Amino acid sequence: MKTAFLLTPTKSWILLLILGFFAFFFQLQNPVVREWDEATYGINAYEMSQSHHPIVVTFMGNSDVYNSKPPMGLWFMAISTKVFGVNTFALRFPSALFSFLLCLFLFYFIQKRFQNIYWAFYAALILMASIGFTGWHEARSGDFDAMVAVAICVYVLFFTRALHDKIASDINWAFLFVSMACLIKGIYGIVALPGLFIFMFFQEDWRWAFKQRQLYLGLLSFLSVFIGYYALREYLSPGYLQAVLQNEIGERVFLETNIHKEEIPFYYHSYKLLAYRFQPFILFIPFALAMFWFEPKGKQKHFISGILAAALSIWCIISFSKTKLVWYDGSLYPLFAIFIAWWLARKSIQWQKYISAAIISMVIFVVYLNVQEKDSFQFPQFLKSVRTEKNTDKTIFVMSKNFEHPIRYCLLQDSLAGCKNYFNKPIDALQIGSLVLVRQEEFEKELSEKFELEVIASLGSEKLIELLDRK
């Protein structure tokens, strides 16, 4: 009976594959496309898949400086769009896949290096059970935050192993993923490097690293790729660098002009982690730190030191930055998961079956929370009901004053289904018999001043109106 609870590699892989599927892919298409970034990236990815231009990102056919990030994340989304079509599943699939693969890689990496199956298993499970990592704007979202978190975690793993085990080739792998992180989300990709370099200088054998040509070749390759991309993009789309300096460095780090209307406190991310985003695991961090303090020198303490140095670097940068958005902490979760899992795995073998069951239960609970997420806005359902229930393929004119990107993404899907639509066309250009979908009451009032109207369908404040005659 006791052996039934023993964890084996085969059991672990099976459980991780099953739980990972539900954590990252189950009902991934729900909810509808989210406002702001996700919808923007959806249009960027579709246009890239059609234009086959991998460098200049476009929105509605024009160079997009609102999304000033490098294009690697969009490359994956464009490929996914080619395979699965223009839909939310395709948009979110790259983030979900990267996150799923990271969980498997964590298990493989830790188990192979430390021969501790519970540590490896718990690290993967805790990441799946982290509300902040699996939810909005992260692993189950058409955004770049989960992808860059994966790249950052992997380069931290390779960098720490290179220093302790003196594996020079790992330095190459580390810089490869540094380059990947920066090509996904720009300068944010290097947030863990300050901590890692400080960590390196505190190691006894730090001189070994400086004697390796891979360090200089890797750094040179990274700088060539990173600077080369920005130079090429500026050449192809003049004004891009100015947008980057304003959006990624100025506005995000030092200013808060268009993001926050008031100053966000320094402890914002710590509060969010404690309040819900890393519950209940964040409560274990003080106990894990106490164990780490008394841990004798060795491979495990060296590894955990590197993990904590990288996490501290990320936390300091996102906390000191003027712009603080809740998903900026995404890169902390894989590192925290490794740290907490290390502490839990040190418990006696009699406790492991209860710990495993508790974390698996948390994964199931988080899956339930993610599946229950409500739609952020009702326009997609209303447009779909108009097309199906009213059985009309007539041209629909949409009028809205809100952020336009999610509306345009839905209209793109409508157009690809063979229907015609226009967005915010001038009222004077409308004709008798036109169908107009208004999203705010003020547009209905404007139309009523010039036309006789009939409301055909409605959902909340959104109405489908037919123009019957001019006044």
Dump pLDDT digits (tens) for 94-109.
Answer: 999 999 999 999 999 9
Q: How confident is the model at residue 4, as a pLDDT? A: 46
Q: CA dihedral in degrees (305, 310, 311, 312; nearest 10)?
A: 90
Q: How confident is the model at residue 250, as a pLDDT? A: 61
Confidence of residue 308 (pLDDT cuts 50, 70, 90): very high
Q: How confident is the model at residue 345, as a pLDDT? A: 93
Single-letter amino acid code for the residue at 395: T
> Mean pLDDT lowest for which of 80-84, 248-252, 413-417?
248-252
Confidence of residue 179 (pLDDT cuts 50, 70, 90): very high
Taking 70 as the threshold, does the pLDDT of residue 259 lie above it?
no
Taking 60 as the threshold, does the pLDDT of residue 1 lie above it?
no
Is the full-model pTM beyond 0.85?
A: yes
Please state, in angstroms and rounded to a whole number, the distance separating the CA atoms of residues 97 and 153: 15
CB of 59 closer than 8 Å to CB of 45: no
Rounded average pLDDT over 247-268? 65
Q: How confident is the model at residue 82, as a pLDDT? A: 95
Q: Tell me what the pLDDT averaged over the chain comes to.
A: 90
Taking 60 as the threshold, does the pLDDT of residue 456 lie above it?
yes
Contacts of 382 (CB under 8 A, 6+ apart): 437, 457, 459, 462, 464
- pLDDT tens per residue, range 186-205: 999 999 999 999 999 888 77
CB of 168 closer than 8 Å to CB of 210: no
- 187, 296, 332, 378 from 58: Cα distances, Å: 20, 54, 31, 26
Q: How confident is the model at residue 275, as a pLDDT? A: 82
Confidence of residue 429 (pLDDT cuts 50, 70, 90): confident
Taking 80 as the threshold, does the pLDDT of residue 349 lie above it?
no
Taking 70 as the threshold, does the pLDDT of residue 143 lie above it?
yes
Taking 60 as the threshold, does the pLDDT of residue 385 lie above it?
yes
- pLDDT tens per residue, range 7-35: 899 999 999 999 999 999 999 998 888 87
Please state, in angstroms and rounded to a whole number, the distance separating the CA atoms of residues 5 and 18: 18
- pLDDT tens per residue, range 144-172: 999 999 999 999 999 999 999 999 999 99
Q: Count the residues in the chain.
A: 471
Taking 70 as the threshold, does the pLDDT of residue 258 lie above it?
no
Confidence of residue 45 (pLDDT cuts 50, 70, 90): very high
Taking 80 as the threshold, does the pLDDT of residue 231 lie above it?
yes
Q: How confident is the model at residue 221, as a pLDDT? A: 95
